Structures are given as structure tokens and as C-alpha cells.
Structure 1
Amino acid sequence: MTRPTNEALIERAKALKLYGLIEHWEELGESLPRVEQLLQWEESERARRSLQRRLRTARIGRFKPISDFDWKWPAQCDRAAVEELMSLAFIQEPANAVLLGPNGVGKTTLARNIAHQALMNGHTVLFTSAAYMLNELAAQDGDIALRRKIKHYAQPELLVIDEVGYLSYGNRHADLLFEIVSRRYETRATLITTNRPFAEWNEVFPNAACVVSLVDRLVHRAEIIPIEGESYRLKEARERATERKRSRKKGVRQPKGSTDAADGDLPT
């Protein structure tokens, strides 16, 4: 393998801001191979710490990897469209993306995987629920604090806003969401998960004058992926209940702390 040139090593040292080393470069002589190893260690350690810091800041949380996602369970889910989002091209454009579907069909799981993929590829990411973001913004005391917090949500290259539509909000919350979306419009990518079609957002933000403009900015150049089907969590709960019943019939002792409450008829 070809070794880096002297100039290439100097450029790497400059990127790491090792100005003292650069100042005494001519004194290194035959130590350059060792310097190359030291530069590699420093680059690797900084990359590791940067990733850890961005992971903490992103607040993605725990999630099931997309390799374990059951693509056969949703009645409708455009896998090719989701995989295209995983390619992160929409962040480069930048454009928006919307995962639309009822509770429990995997919208949040897919969103977390896309966010993690973006992080691993060097993008700045922030994952938040709509309720957390809007309540945090509304709670800011004074214009300076509010502007600082709006900047916090407006800056990341990818902002994921989860669970829009599960709660209803007042006009101030609608205005704050509109402000975030407007700040990011055509400059940063935003990914939304929602259980309500845009035609019903007037019920999410009743009497808010900005809803039409908000939706207009979100859907412009956006990839909207409908996901239909029954709740996967409900499916897993049924399977666990069935397995517990089967175990009891075979005389297998139940784990300590389990109850029969989970073994009743589950809603459909």
C-alpha cells in the first residue's frame, strides 16, 4: 500500500489543528512513519467522540434495527420508498418525508432507523416527539430563550418530529410548529410521522390560521409514505398471550410476577 506523502500528512495535521507539530515538522526526519500512526490514532479517537456526542444530542433512543423489521406485516408499506429514504438522498436535496399510518405499524421504528443511518453518515440529527418539542418551545420564558430554542430545532440537517396528530394543540403550538417548519423550509430535511392525514390537521390544530401554510411547506417536494395495517404491538401481545397459555397447558411454570390479566381476550 502506498504511504501518504509528506504534504498529505501535513494536511491531516492541519485538519487536526496540531500547529505545534506542524511548526517543528522539519525536525521529525525519520520519525514520520510514527507520526502517521499518531495522526491515525487522533483521527479515530476524534471521530469516535464526535459520534458519541452526536448520538447523545440526537436523542434517537433504543429501537429495533431495520434488518428485523417485518415487512410482511403491514397491509401496505412501500419498502422501496423507505429504502430510498435510508439512502439519505432526501437530506442532500434537502426535502421532507412523511410516514403516515395508524398506531403500531412501525412508523417510529422506521424513523429511528433513518435517523441513525443519517448519524452514522456524518449528518447532524435531532429526534423528538411533537408533544415534547412544542411543549418545550411554549414553555420558554422570554424572547431570547425562545429564539435560542427555535434555533436548536432549526439547525440539524435532519429533524425527526414523531407522533404528530396523537394530541390536539392550541394556536400557539401551531404557530411554533409553523415557525420551525418555515425556518427549515428548503434548507434542511424534516421527517414527520403522523397518524392523521393532512386533511385532518385542522382537528390537530383547531382554529389555527397557519395550518394550510404549514401543510403546504411540509408536503412541497416531500416523500409521503402511507403505511396501513393492524398494530404490530397488538400482534406481539397476542402471540405472547398464546404462548403463555400453551406453556401452562404443558405444565410449564410461569415466570415470577406474571399475571393472568394479559391472557384475556385482546381487542381486535
Structure 2
Amino acid sequence: PICDIQYLDYFLYALELAADDLASLHWRTVGGQKAPVIMRTKGHRLVGIWHSGSPMAVVINALHGMYIAVPRNMTQAAGFYNTLFRGDNPGLVIEVLNGYRIKERVPENIGEFTVPLGVPEVLRAGTDVTVVTYGACCGIALDAARALDELGVSCEVIDVQTLNPFDVDHSIVRSLEKTHAVLFLDEDMPGGASAFMMQHVLERQDGWWHLDSAPRTLAAAPNRPAYGPDGDYFTKPNRESVVESIYALMRDRHPEKYAPLD
């Protein structure tokens, strides 16, 4: 069965049921019972305080025992649904609201193709810095990477695709072996999903050993998104803030090579 929750902001009203019942049923019954429920919702950036939330820290910490998929577009979302249909475990798919506005090529096997869980995808290869992100921030990271090309910075952009499970084969650390620098990017408030991803990569994957500069995170402002058509832009990461954060990281590493931005 699939249940639909209109916005991720509203998922908080279903959190107790999802956390206490669905996510823990298989564990509590030692495999005796299953809860193959798929919870579908939409989140991240749109317009307004009640429709642009990204309370990912709450979701991640409450839903141990549930798959958490964070597709960057609707094609990837379809692949996750097809994957979850084939299993008996509960899952949460958080679609990106601005994904409904993106024109994309639809696979001929849209009803059959699957996206694996726990397998990040390299969206853009690079040599100077690794950007680890998901969802709507993937497009922002790619836009920023193109702008940084003109400043002499080569960015590798990685979409983690799922937060639970997270990078089961430790593939992200292989990018750090090449770039030696990393930025974790998301739309949650500081200390949320960006911190979660950083801990996994730097501690569990021993990514620390491959860095020659301090790791960085870039998250939303520590407040709810503002009203108005530009509310998301000024309260969440945007192309300019990503460019500035990465360029500052590169200046810390090689101040003689990268001049201050005007």
C-alpha cells in the first residue's frame, strides 16, 4: 500500500505512527511481521513557510528501520517506487516539489526500471572538490559547478540518492581520495542532514585521512523559510552561496592560486 502526505511539513503529524509502528515492526517481532508500506510525500523548496520545510534531521533520527529515498527528480522517484514495490520493508520517498517543473526524458521502461538503495550517483566528475548532496540541491550544485569552472575550480557532484541506507559500498570516500576536499550540501537546518552525511563519510568511511582542508557544510538558515517568491532563495542554499562556500574552501587550500572574489 501507498499512503500520500501532501507536504513533508505535514509528515510530522504522522511521525509517531511511522516511527513507533512501521519502522520498528519487523525488529519488534523478530521478523514475524512485515509492514510493506510506502509513504509518499513532497518537500524542500517551493513557496511559503508551510510548504518548503526540510526537517530531515527529524526524519533520519526517528525512522530507523525504514528506507528513506530522496530523489532529485521524478524519474528517479519512479525508480525508487519500483524498487520498493519489490520488497516487504517500509519506505519513505520524499519527492522534490520543483521536480514537477523540470522537463526530463522519460525512460521507455518507466514502469519497470529501478534505482538501487544505498548507491550514490556521480552526476559530474571533478578533480578539486567533492560536493555531497541530494534532492533539489543536486541541480543547485550542478549550476554552481558550472560557474566554478570559470573560476578554475573543478567540482565533483555526488547525489547520495538515499539517506537510509547511506552509501553502503563507501563509494563517496573514493571521490575524496581524488579531490581531498568536500562540501556537504542540503536544505535542512544546520546540524541536520548535512551533519549526518558528514559523519558517515568522515568517520564511518574514514574520509578524514584523505582531506587536506577542513570539511564544510552548507545548510539552510536556522529558521523556517520566509514567505514570498524569494523566501526560499534567501533562506536556503542557492547557486551563489554554493559558489562562495566552495571558492572559500579552495582559497583556504591554495591562497596563492585563488584570488579574492570581487
TM-score range, shorter chain: under 0.3
Q: What TM-score results when the alignment is normalised by the length of structure 1?
A: 0.27
Relative contact order, higher structure (CA 8 A, sep 6+)? 1
More strand by share: 2
More helix, by proportion: 1
